[in-house]
Structure formats: C-alpha cells, structure tokens
C-alpha cells in the first residue's frame, strides 16, 4: 500500500514540487496551503509522514507540530523552512519533529530526509511497544492497573484507525456514494454548524454542479433541520441549481451591456427553443440554461457561452444554429 504524505506549506511552488517528487516515489500525496486545513485532515486520514513549513500566515509551523504530536502521534513530521537556524531545528525536534530540512532542497535531499524520518519514527514506535511489553511482563505495570479511561481511549483510537484504514477510497465508490461521502466531509469541515449552511451548500454545489433532492435530504437529516428550510435558503440565491446540469451548458448574459445589445431577446429565444427556463435542464438531458449578470467581456456583448466556449456578438439566430449543430452532432454520436 502506498505511503501517505501530507504537505502543509503556503508556497504553491513547494507543494507542486513535493507532489511531483513524492508521487514519483509512489507516495499518495495530499497538499494544502492552510495549516488549519492540514490539522483537520489528520483527524480523518492517517499520514505516514507530514511535511510542514515553519512560517505560514495564521498559524506558526511550530504550533502545528505541537498539535500534530497530539492528534497524529504516529506520523513522522519533517519541518521545512526557508529560514533555517539551529535554535529552530532544535525546537522543532523537541516538539516531536523527526527532521528539519532547509529550503530550497533538492529532490534527493528531501526524499532522503523523509525516508529516514519514517524509519526513525517506526523504530521509535517499536521501542515503545517493546518497553510496554517488558514492563507488563516483569510486573512493573499490570494490565488491570491501567486506567479504565485510558483503555477506553485506546480502544476508541484503534477503532477509529480501523475505520479509516478500511474506508474505501473515493475513486472506488459509485458517483452517488462519492457524493454522499463528500457531502458528509463538507459538513464535518464546517463542524455541522448551521450558521455555515450557505458555505456547506456552496461547497457541495461546486462539486456536484447542483443540489439534488437526495443531497438536500441528507444535509437536512445530518444537521437536524428541515429540507424545507434548506431549500428555502438555497432557492433565495440564484447561484444554486436543483437539477443536474445538461450535457451542454448554455449561459446567456443579461448584464447591462449585453441586455442593451439584445441579451434579453436571446434569452427568450433560447427558452422557447429548448422549452426550459434558467436553472432547468431540457428533457433529453442535452442542454441546461443559466442566466448570468456579466461575464466580464462586455465589449463582445451580447455574450453567450456554450460549455467553455465564449461566443460574442450573439443573436437569437446564431444561437439557434449553434444548438442545432449540437443536436446534429449528438444524434450522429
Ligand atoms: S454585461 Fe455581458 S459580459 Fe458584461
């Protein structure tokens, strides 16, 4: 099984280098620029090794290491820093880091440091287990004397670890199962706080492209609020769709510049041609329609996008021809 690595660094260049270097070394690599997100990721996933920058906005790398020692004590932590100093290195090791590497580093340097850190951490854990075994054998500690609470905490931790390890990867799930897992992860990320309902809906919406009735139902059950409340909140915002997007997505701009040039007429024409209104998907699933306020290219107005293609100086006739062309292509394929 591939070893898992988490890289926490506010420099995207460092993240992409680590991704490239360690994926080539058969690691499964997760990266984040946010120390807070890094700390929440370790609660769900066990990482064999964590690379952590020292100076990051928001949370100092030393503080992150201290927290990782409490929440993910089995991970080998390596601190990386563009401002190396003996004092900082010593401090990092005292707080539980296995190594300290100065930036910029070569691929060989960082790979060697990571492999050695993992080996040292594993050796450290083996020693602890052996010591515990020896003490129990020689009677220096007896199992019944172990605090009940500690046993409970251990069994909860073991169960949690088992749950994480047996959890199937997202890639192996069907689309509805994957959407469910992602929705639950989003709710956890927002601490299931209903004050963050819009943020949660936006995150799920940006993954799925719409909020299905099943998804709204799941969120309602998990947050103990009614589906009606969620729907009422979401439908207030034009950004949310409730139908699965069509195979081809048409966006018609009706911002001031485009409207003056005929954007409103184009919208009416496409509505009647496809027999849908903005937010809906045609019955055959081929087209979905969205009305937007401005696409930032007003000089080209009226503007219509079809999938990723931006079409300027549009007219109802031109759009109608473009739609017919797609129909013809789809019917051949
Ligand atoms: S108003 Fe349509 S692109 Fe700006």
99 and 117 Cβ atoms separated by less than 8 Å? yes
**pLDDT classification of 168: cutoffs 50, 70, 90:** low
Checking if the pLDDT of 142 tops 80, the result is: no
Q: Report which ligand 1 atom has the smallest distance to the Cα of 255.
A: 1
Top-confidence range, 62-71, 103-112, 289-298, 311-320:
311-320
Pocket test residue of 261, 290, 291, 295 for ligand 1, highest count of atoms within 8 A of CB: 295
Pairing of strands 76-81, 287-292: unpaired
Distance 310 CA to ligand 1 centre (A): 12
- pLDDT higher at 164 or 35: 35
pLDDT band at 122 (very low <50, low <70, confident <90, very high): confident
Q: Model confidence over 236-281: pLDDT tens digits?
A: 887 788 888 899 999 999 999 999 999 999 999 999 999 999 888 9
Q: Whose CA is nearest to atom 1 of ligand 1?
A: 255
Centre of ligand 1 from the C-alpha of residue 327, in Å: 27
Q: Is the pLDDT of residue 210 over 60?
A: yes
> How many whole angstroms from its chain centre is CA 130?
38
The tokens for 154 are: 């251990």
H or E stretch covering 121: helix 107-137
**Measured distance CA(73)–CA(244) in Å, rounded:** 43
CA distance 30 to 27: 10
> Nearest-CA neighbor of 5 among 30, 33, 25?
30
Instruction: Determine the atom of ligand 1 nearest the C-alpha atom of 257.
Output: 1
- The winner for highest mean pLDDT among 37-41, 54-58, 159-163, 211-215 is 211-215
Q: Are strands 304-306 and 248-253 parallel, antiparallel or unpaired?
A: antiparallel
Q: What pLDDT, on the 0 to 100 scale, is given for residue 166?
A: 63
Q: Where are the beta strands (DSSP E) in 13-158?
A: 28-32, 49-53, 76-81, 99-102
* Contact call for residues 45 and 4 (beta carbons, < 8 A): yes
DSSP string, 208-242: HSS--HHHHHHHHHHHT--HHHHHHHHHTSTT---
pLDDT value of residue 61: 84
CB-defined site of ligand 1, < 6 Å = 253, 255-258, 294-295, 297-298, 301, 303
C-beta separation of 278 from 254 below 8 A: no
Whether 132 shows a pLDDT value over 70: the answer reads no
Contact status, residue 30 vs residue 2, Cβ threshold 8 Å? no
């Amino acid at each position: 099984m591939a070893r898992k690595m988490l890289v926490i660094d506010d420099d995207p260049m460092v993240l992409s280098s680590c991704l490239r270097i360690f994926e080539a070394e058969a690691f499964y690599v997760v990266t984040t620029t946010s120390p807070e997100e890094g700390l929440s990721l370790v609660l769900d996933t066990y990482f064999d090794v964590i690379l952590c920058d020292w100076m990051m906005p928001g949370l100092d790398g030393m503080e992150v290491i201290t927290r990782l020692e409490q929440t993910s004590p089995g991970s080998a932590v390596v601190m990386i820093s563009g401002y190396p100093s003996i004092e900082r290195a010593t401090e990092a090791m005292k707080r539980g880091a296995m190594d300290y590497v100065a930036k910029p580093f070569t691929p060989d340097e960082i790979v060697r440091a990571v492999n050695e850190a993992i080996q040292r951490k594993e050796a450290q854990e083996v020693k602890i287990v052996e010591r515990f075994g020896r003490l129990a054998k020689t009677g220096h500690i007896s199992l019944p004397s172990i605090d009940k609470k500690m046993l409970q905490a251990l069994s909860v931790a073991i169960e949690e670890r088992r749950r994480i390890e047996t959890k199937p990867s997202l890639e192996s799930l069907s689309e509805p199962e994957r959407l469910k897992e992602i929705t639950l992860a989003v709710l956890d990320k927002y601490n299931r706080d209903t004050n963050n309902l819009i943020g949660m809906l936006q995150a799920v919406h940006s993954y799925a492209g719409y909020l299905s009735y099943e998804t709204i139902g799941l969120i309602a059950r998990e947050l103990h609020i009614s589906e009606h409340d969620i729907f009422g909140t979401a439908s207030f915002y034009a950004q949310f769709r409730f139908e699965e997007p069509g195979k081809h997505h048409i966006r018609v701009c009706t911002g001031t510049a485009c409207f003056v040039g005929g954007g409103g007429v184009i919208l009416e024409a496409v509505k009647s041609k496809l027999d849908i209104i903005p937010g809906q998907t045609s019955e055959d699933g081929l087209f979905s329609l969205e009305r937007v306020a401005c696409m930032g290219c007003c000089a080209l107005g009226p503007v219509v996008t079809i999938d990723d293609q931006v079409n300027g100086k549009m007219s109802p006739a031109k759009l109608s021809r473009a739609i017919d062309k797609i129909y013809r292509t789809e019917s051949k394929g």
